[in-house]
């Protein structure tokens, strides 16, 4: 079960964190993975790890916010069976403290970047009689997160895009879903703690972990395992859904 043999998968944001974990799991399950990111060092490390384990991976230093760049790259790749939109950034701030520049930057990466990939892959999938799209949302889209105004906004847009694509292309054999993680222990978390809580990293890591009912952060591979299921043939009856993977954060934190 959950084999991706002979499948071609494109994964954005594959240099670290959830995107990297997704790339490793998909390659392990037999997919040829085409990995996009702007972090050349991290991307090379991901590809090396895959190829040294016997998998097939190709890397592209790519800016998802540039539609012409995505168009050219997707044409070069050719047939795409699976698209995983993982590329994204965060931002700290409320509605009245988020600068216009920061707002535009978050929107450009998290929303326009995803749109660019959808815009280019959907005609290809229609021509190939189907495909699977998985978008990275967040519990921020459902709950809103304190001091994450722009980020929460962008992930709400991801949910809207997911439902729209699922409805518009269901008769073309294209499935589109999203997942909504809570806190995941990625390099972003470590860098955030080092930047904002120097000398108190361990203390704050524990505090953030315990805000989730399950008492810890997720590991990236745990998210990747759900991603594998949703992109596999075993999930062929699932489309237009968002899947929280949140350690109980949405339901169990509600009074």
pLDDT tens per residue across span 231-252: 999 999 999 999 999 999 999 9
* pLDDT at res. 232: 98
- What are the backbone dihedrals phi and psi of residue 236, each rounded to the nearest 5 degrees, phi first? -65, -15
- Residue 24 has a pLDDT of 98
**Sign of CA pseudo-dihedral 205, 209, 228, 165:** negative
What pLDDT, on a 0 to 100 scale, did the predictor assign at position 191?
86
- Residue whose pair of structure tokens reads 């509605």 in the numeric block: 95
β-pairing verdict for 174-181 and 242-245: parallel
If one counts the domains in the chain, the total is 1
Q: Is residue 191 part of a domain?
A: no
Residue 34 lies in a domain: yes
Strands of 32-37's sheet, edge to edge? 56-61, 32-37, 8-12, 82-85, 131-136, 174-181, 242-245
Cα 220 to Cα 208: distance, rounded to the nearest angstrom: 16
pLDDT band at 254 (very low <50, low <70, confident <90, very high): low
Burial 22-43 (b: 16+ CB within 10 A, else e): bbbbbbbbebbbbbbbbbeebb
When pLDDT is averaged across residues 177-196 and rounded to a whole number, the result is 90
40/15 Cα distance (integer angstroms): 8
Of 57-66, 187-196, 201-210, the range with the lowest mean pLDDT is 187-196
If you search the block for the tokens 């698209």, which residue do you land on? 83
- pLDDT for 155 equals 97
Kindly indicate the confidence band of residue 181, based on its pLDDT and cuts at 50, 70 and 90. very high
Task: With a cut of 90, say whether residue 69 has pLDDT above it.
Answer: yes
Chain segment 120-178, per-residue pLDDT in tens: 999 999 999 999 999 999 999 998 888 999 999 999 999 999 999 999 999 999 999 99
Angstrom distances, CA of residue 131 to CA of 25, 79, 124, 171, 235 = 19, 10, 9, 12, 12
Residue 178 lies in a domain: yes
The CATH number that applies at residue 238 is 3.40.50.720
**Mean pLDDT confidence for 193-218:** 91
Query: Which pLDDT score is estimated for 195?
Result: 84
Determine, yes or no, domain membership for 224: yes
Enzyme catalytic residues: 151
Determine the pLDDT at residue 187.
86
Its domain, for residue 45, covers: 8-182+220-245
In a domain, 237, yes or no: yes
Average of per-residue pLDDT across 189-203: 88
Tell me the pLDDT band of 205, cut-offs 50, 70 and 90.
Answer: very high
- Inter-residue contact 21 to 49 (CB < 8 Å): no
| CA 75 remoteness from chain centre | 22
What is the enclosing helix (H) or strand (E) of 179? strand 174-181
Of the pLDDT bands very low, low, confident and very high (cuts 50, 70, 90), residue 255 is low
Do the domain assignments include residue 19? yes
């Amino acid at each position: 079960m959950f084999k991706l043999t002979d499948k071609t998968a494109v994964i954005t944001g594959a240099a670290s964190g959830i995107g990297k974990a997704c790339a490793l799991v998909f390659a392990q399950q037999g997919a040829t993975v085409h990995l996009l990111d702007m972090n050349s060092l991290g991307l090379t490390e991901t590809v090396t790890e895959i190829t040294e384990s016997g998998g097939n991976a190709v890397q592209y230093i790519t800016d998802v916010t540039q539609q012409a760049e995505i168009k050219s790259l997707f044409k070069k790749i050719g047939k795409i069976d699976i698209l995983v939109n993982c590329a994204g950034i965060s931002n700290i701030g409320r509605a009245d403290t988020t600068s216009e520049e920061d707002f535009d930057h978050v929107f450009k990466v998290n929303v326009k970047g995803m749109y660019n990939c959808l815009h280019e892959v959907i005609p290809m999938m229609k021509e190939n009689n189907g495909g699977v799209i998985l978008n990275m949302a967040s519990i921020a889209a459902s709950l809103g997160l304190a001091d994450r105004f722009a980020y929460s906004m962008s992930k709400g847009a991801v949910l809207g895009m997911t439902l729209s694509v699922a409805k518009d292309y269901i008769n073309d054999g294209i499935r589109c879903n999203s997942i909504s993680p809570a806190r995941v222990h990625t390099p972003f978390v470590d860098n955030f703690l080092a930047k904002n809580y120097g000398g108190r990293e361990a203390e704050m890591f524990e505090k953030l972990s315990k805000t989730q009912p399950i008492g810890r952060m997720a590991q990236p591979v745990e998210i990747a395992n759900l991603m594998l299921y949703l992109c596999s043939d075993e999930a062929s009856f699932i489309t237009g859904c968002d899947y929280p993977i949140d350690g109980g954060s949405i339901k169990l934190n509600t009074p």
